[in-house]
Structure 1
Amino acid sequence: MQLQNQDFFFDRAVTYTSRTISRLAKKGAEGNGYELPPVYFVAVLGFQLDKANDAKHYYSAKIADQFDQEILYEKLSYKMLILLNFNKSKTELSTIMDQWMYLMKHLNEIDELPSYLDKRIFSRIFISESVV
């Protein structure tokens, strides 16, 4: 989670994923196969990535060919949620992603599970303090 504006945020994201991939690579003869597990970079941001596109609240990126958009490497994904740009009201939440975005943006205002959130998914977030 990154709340303050971060210059060169994408450089930082690439650095973090590169370090992770480097640590996952097996060394020596064991690494000859060099198959890596999938790596996901998930960022929840409290600032705009692109000031010209202030309506976009979700980015999903992979390494792709710039001409035909063919995905070249399926195992590396970048997911970025821009809370500042998410402006749906609770009556407009039509997907689970909308519900997650709304909850993350408004969690400081919500004390118990609201009826507009899917109870199967979100009920564990609002467990009573006496149970814990």
Structure 2
Amino acid sequence: MADELSKVFAALADPTRRDMVARLAGSDATVSQLAEPYDVSIQAVSKHLKVLEDAGLVTRTREAQTRPVHLEAEVFDLMTKWIERYRKRAEERYQRLDALLAEMNDGPEAQHPTTSDPGVDPKLHQEGKVS
């Protein structure tokens, strides 16, 4: 799984390939259709597609005279599971941190200002006006 994910993340590291994937999410497209918005050759687009294909993100099929490129959405399920596992771990750590911070804020020091508190006049403590 790690090798597959490494290939997927490496393939998606390039902004042009990410854009191609986003465009393929709408519908299949030919190489020339994918090449239209870029100022690069068809060969360069084919190389990008080869990287995406090697990572399992796209496949090419044959329909009559064309070879449409198809996005393989199942690969995103693999990525989502991997990301979700780490998101859950991070969320658990944040919850523990929140609990610790709440415990620290609810301690006796927070509820009863002392004479060392910069915002409280020490004379008020002596007169019993502040506990």
TM-score range, shorter chain: under 0.3
Instruction: Tell me which structure has the larger Cα radius of gyration.
Output: 2
TM-score, structure 2 length as denominator? 0.21
| TM-score after normalising by structure 1 | 0.21
Q: Which structure carries more helix by proportion?
A: 2
Higher strand proportion: 1
